[in-house]
């Protein structure tokens, strides 16, 4: 059984992470990403406290190989969040993160996500309850503001309250504000302007807190630039759509020089996992959809994506489909 480290090691754990992304960062995706980087912290999709406590499925399932892995929770009831944090620790998660950044209507109606920024005391109460229930790190992912509440002072007051009253020592800051109405979640990731200097300033004003930055980061060169000002970097869509970026993380950001996995090797390393999941009734397409972008920019990449997209969902689809798709990429070798 994986041993959790009590509330320490934030700096290394959060130095580089892949963001929690709804419908994307499921357990199959995380397993694949782990083959590409052993140091990157991987986040689950956001899971609501209600799903964990009352849902029929196992919303906390993950593979031991995924470590280090963090659970992102959505909710605003301190008791429910505490219960889920305790369960997460028992299951072996390395961190629990509270979502104070998602702007979707569905999320607001459940009173969680970005709207919580408007109630710093409630966020502090939630974090405190989770801290009391578990010994693993409890972190908060937030925006730089919401709606008209987007002054630097508003952000500082939020961080001050949640860190002092809630005991939160680690914040991931999405460097955009969120509009709670009028913009879709997709538009909220693109329309509000990025303000990296504001996040840098926040770290200077709260040097005792561990802070990571998120939003619009596409390359490891950009990540290195941010790491000169902050403790960590979280990458979202780029890591999903172009997962080969992860193959250089261990070498470039953690100074670990071991053979970097190439895309073909990574795909083949997935075979035992895929075979095992197929025997349990999983569909091939549910696994291969996360692998479509691995050959971005490489000859044959388009045919690889097309072959998988057209065939992986078919009844009885197995590893032969992946091998056929891989042939488009390996032909030139």
* Binding residue positions for FMN: 20-22, 72, 141, 174, 214-216, 236-237
User: Under a CB-based contact definition with an 8 Å cutoff, are residues 10 and 208 in contact?
Assistant: no
DSSP string, 285-321: HHHHGGGGGGGTTSTTHHHHHHHHHHHTTSTT--HHH
Max distance between CA atoms of the chain, in angstroms, equals 59
DSSP code for 244: G
Per the CB < 8 A criterion, the answer to whether 313 and 286 are in contact is: no
Contact between 184 and 142 (Cβ < 8 Å): no
Nearest-CA neighbor of 189 among 172, 173, 171, 176?
176
Q: Quote the CA–CA distance of 170 and 163 in Å, as a whole number.
A: 8
Gap between the Cα atoms of 71 and 89, Å rounded: 10
How far lies 222's CA from each of 198, 258, 261, in Å?
A: 16, 23, 22
Based on the residue annotation, tell me whether 102 is a catalytic residue of this protein: yes
| Options 84, 102, 115, 168, the catalytic residue | 102
* Ramachandran sector of residue 155 (left: φ over 0; alpha: ψ -120 to 50; beta: rest): alpha
- 3-state class (DSSP) for residue 154: helix
Binding positions:
20-22, 72, 141, 174, 214-216, 236-237
User: DSSP states of 56-75 as a string?
Assistant: SS-TT---GGG-SEEEEEE-
Catalytic residues, by residue number, are: 102
């Amino acid at each position: 059984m994986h041993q959790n480290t009590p509330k320490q090691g934030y700096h290394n754990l959060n130095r580089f992470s892949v963001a929690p992304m709804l419908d994307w960062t499921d357990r199959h995706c995380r397993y694949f990403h782990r083959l590409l980087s052993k140091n990157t912290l991987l986040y689950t999709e956001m899971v609501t406290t209600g799903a964990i406590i009352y849902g029929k499925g196992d919303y906390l399932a993950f593979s031991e190989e995924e470590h280090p892995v963090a659970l992102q929770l959505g909710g605003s009831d301190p008791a429910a969040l505490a219960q889920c944090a305790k369960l997460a620790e028992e299951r072996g998660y390395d961190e629990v993160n509270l979502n104070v950044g998602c702007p979707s209507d569905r999320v607001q109606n459940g009173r969680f996500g970005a709207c919580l920024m408007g109630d710093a005391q409630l966020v502090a109460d939630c974090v405190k309850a989770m801290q009391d229930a578990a010994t693993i790190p409890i972190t908060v992912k937030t925006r730089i503001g919401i709606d008209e509440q987007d002054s630097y002072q508003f952000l500082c007051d939020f961080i001050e309250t949640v860190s002092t009253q809630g005991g939160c020592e680690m914040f991931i800051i999405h460097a955009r504000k969120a509009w709670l109405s009028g913009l879709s979640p997709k538009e909220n990731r693109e329309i509000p302007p990025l303000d990296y200097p504001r996040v840098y300033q926040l770290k200077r004003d709260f040097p005792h807190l561990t802070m990571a930055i998120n939003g619009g980061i596409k390359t490891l060169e950009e990540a290195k630039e941010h790491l000169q000002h902050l403790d960590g970097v979280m990458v979202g869509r780029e890591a999903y759509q172009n997962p080969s970026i992860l193959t250089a993380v261990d070498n470039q950001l953690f100074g670990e020089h071991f053979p970097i996995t190439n895309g073909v090797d990574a795909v083949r390393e997935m075979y035992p996992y895929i075979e095992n999941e197929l025997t349990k009734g999983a569909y091939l397409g549910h696994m291969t959809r996360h692998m479509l972008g691995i050959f971005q920019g490489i000859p044959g990449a388009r045919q690889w994506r097309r072959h998988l997209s057209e065939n992986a969902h078919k009844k009885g689809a197995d590893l032969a489909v992946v091998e056929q798709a891989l042939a488009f990429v390996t032909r030139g070798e």
